[in-house]
Amino acid sequence: MKFKKAAALFLSLAMAGGMLAGCGGDSASSQPSTNSGANSGSTQAAEPGSEPVTLRFSWWGGDSRHAATQEAIEAFMDKYPNITVKAEFGAWSGWEENVSTQLMSQTAPDLMQINWNWITSYSSDGSSFLDLNTVSDVVDLTQWKQADLDQCTVNGNNLQAVPVALTGRIFYWNKTTFEQAGLETPKTFADLMAAGPVFKEKLGDGYYPMAMGEYDRMIFMVYYLESVYGKPWVTEGKLNYTEAEIKEGLDVLAKMEQEHVIPTLKKIAGDGADSLDKNQNWIDGHYAGIFEWDSSASKFIKAAPESEIVVGEFLSDIGDYQGGFTKVSMAFAISANSEHPREAALLMQFLLGEDEGAKIMASERGVPANQNALKVCTENNLLDANVSEANAKVMEWCQFSLDPLFEDNALKSNPDGVYYKVMAKVSYGELDTAQGAAELVSGITELLNK
C-alpha cells in the first residue's frame, strides 16, 4: 500500500513543475543531540542551549489553533534558546497533498501534525515516520494509554506517532436561529426533518437547519446506516454494506435536500468558502447546524460570535443501534529524515506532555489523550466546555471504530476522491442514488482490494 497514491500524486506535481521544496520531555536524561540520524540508536548528546538547531513544525487548523500553537512554540524556544522552531501552518484545503509530496521528496518538517490514517497511507512499513520508541527517554510514552498507542503502531512495535486526542462526529446547533424559527434544537431525526419546511416558511429560502459538505455527508450516511443495521462500515478489509443499503443512505441525503433540511452542494459551492466555519452562512446563522468532529467545537463556535451554538444529541430514533465511530483525531509524528529527531521529540513532549505546553494548548486539538496534559487542563479548568461536552457524548454513544482506510486520500480528497465525486454527482443530479451507491461500492472495494 505504501506510497502508491502518493507516488502518483508526486509524479503529476513534478511533471507540472509543482514539486514542493522544503521550507527554508522534561527530564535530566532527555538531552537533545546536535546531528543525529533519523533511526540511529547512537546520538551525541548536547546540553540545551549549547549549539543552534532549527526545527520545522507543521500543522493545519483554524485561527485559534494557530494562535495557541504559536504561543506554545514561543514558550518552548524560551526554555530551549538554542532551538529555533519554524512554524508552517494553514487551512486544511490541499494540506494532505502538500504533505504527501514532502514525504516523497524527503523534505517533510521535523515535527508534523498528521491525520491518523497517514500512518497506513504513507508509512505502513515504518519508513516515513520515526519509531518513537527510539526517543522514549525524551517523550514520556507512559502518559498515553497503551490501546491508544497501539492504534499508531505498525509492524508489531514500531510507534509511528502519538495521539493528540480521540474524536468522533456530533451535532452542533445554532440555538439562536432555531429559536427565531420557533423551534427547539433537534433531539430526533424526525425533529430535524420537520425543521426544514419551518425554516423555509418562517425565515426564508436562505435558511437551513443544517449544512453538510461532501465528506460530512459520507460520515453522516455511515452514522445513519450503522444506527439502522448495527454493523461497522468496514471490517478486516471488507465493506459490510450492500449497494441496496448504501442507496438507502443516499436516499436519506436526497430527501434532506428536498425537504429544505440541508442546502445542495451547488448552493454550498456558490457560497465561495473553503470550509463551513468560514462560510458566511454559518457565521451569520443561515446554516443552523453541522455534523462535525468534537475537537472542532471551539472553531465553529468562535466563527459565529453573534449566536449561541450548543452541542447536540445523537438522534436516537434512526435505529436500534448507537451508530457513529471514534478514532484518533490526529497525531504528532517526527519525520524519519529529521536531522534532529531528539530536539523534535523535545518539542513534541513540551507541547503534548509538559505542564506549560499543556496549559497553552489546552483543548485546541480536542481533549488531550496524554494523561498528564488531561490532568493539568482539568485541574486548571482549561478545557473548552463545549469540546469536553461533545467529546464525552461521542465517547459514551459511538459503539463503532473506524477502519484507517476510510480516510484514505483516494476516497476523501477534494475534489477527486470517491466520496466527493459520488456525493457531488448525486446532489447535482448527474447520478441517481442507485448509480451513486454502485459507484461508491466500486471505488471503496477497489481501494480495499489493493
pLDDT at 94: 87
Q: What is the pLDDT of residue 43?
A: 35
In angstroms, rounded to a whole number, what is the distance separating the alpha carbons of residues 333 and 103? 12
Between CA 154 and CA 381 the distance in angstroms is 36
Helix spans in 318-370 (H): 341-352, 355-361
DSSP codes joined into one string, 244-292: HHHHHHHHHHHHHHHTTSS--HHHHHHTT-SSGGG-HHHHTTSB-EEEE
* Residues 154 and 124: beta-carbon distance below 8 Å: yes
Tell me what pLDDT residue 376 has. 97
Q: How far apart are CA 171 and CA 178, in angstroms?
A: 14
- The pTM of the full predicted model, rounded to 2 decimals, is 0.75
Q: Grid coordinates in use for 24?
A: 527554508
CA 384 to CA 389: how far, in whole Å? 9
| 437 contacts 226 by C-beta, under 8 angstroms | no
Q: Which residues of 342-364 are buried (b: 16+ CB within 10 A; e: fewer)?
A: bbbbbbbbbbbbbbbbbebbbbb
Please report, in tens digits, the pLDDT of each residue of the chain (450 residues total).
444 334 433 333 333 333 333 333 333 333 343 333 333 333 333 344 478 999 999 999 989 899 999 999 999 999 999 999 999 999 988 899 999 999 999 999 999 999 999 999 999 999 999 999 999 999 999 999 998 999 999 998 999 999 999 999 999 999 999 999 999 999 999 999 999 999 999 999 999 999 999 999 999 999 999 999 999 999 989 999 999 999 999 999 999 999 999 999 999 999 999 899 999 999 999 999 999 999 888 889 999 999 999 999 999 999 999 999 999 989 999 999 999 999 999 999 999 999 999 999 999 998 999 999 999 999 999 998 888 999 999 999 999 988 889 988 899 988 899 999 999 999 999 999 999 999 999 999 999 998
pLDDT of residue 355: 98
How far apart CA 148 and CA 146 sit, in angstroms, is: 5
- Give the pLDDT confidence score for residue 296 in this predicted structure: 83
**367's grid cell:** 481533549
What are the contacts of 63-67 at 24+ separation with CB within 8 A? 63/302, 64/298, 64/299, 64/302, 64/364, 65/299, 65/364, 65/365
* CA nearest neighbour of 279 among 261, 287, 206, 173: 287
The angle at the Cα of 239, spanning 233 to 244, to the nearest 5 degrees, equals: 90
pLDDT at 331: 97
**DSSP letters for 27-44:** STT-PPBSS--TT-S---
**pLDDT confidence of residue 156:** 87
